[in-house]
Amino acid sequence: VQLQASGGGLVQTGGSLGLSCAASGSIINIGNMAWYRQAPGKERELVAVISNSGGTNYRNSVKGRFTISRDNAKNTLYLHMNSLSPEDTAVYYCNANMRLSGSTYYTNYWGQGTLVTVSS
């Protein structure tokens, strides 16, 4: 089972970027999915979370600029980021609670991270 994140890169201030994260393996169901980020020298922080039914929550600093979404049929998580600023520069990680084949409980998994750099 793995979470494969992609879509990071270099963008100028005010620009947009989209991230995706595909879950693969013997997955029965995926609960909450989320994006976290970790800037250099800082702790990892929650950016946005989305439930299986589509309910969302965002950290205040990204509200109105970032949109989290998911495609349950494709086991894929997305993050669309607008109006990016240098303060958004970080490694972005996807995270998901997944129930695997043969299991009755959910386990938390992390993707490998993708770097987003916003130049001023």
Amino acid at the residue 9: G
Query: What single DSSP character describes residue 89?
Result: -
| pLDDT of the residue at 1 | 87
Across the chain, which has 120 residues, the per-10-residue mean pLDDT values are 94 98 96 97 98 97 98 97 98 97 94 96
Question: Of 32, 27, 39, 80, which is closest to residue 54 (Cα–Cα)?
Answer: 32
| Residues with Cβ within 8 Å of residue 41, at least 6 apart in sequence | none
| pLDDT of the residue at 63 | 98
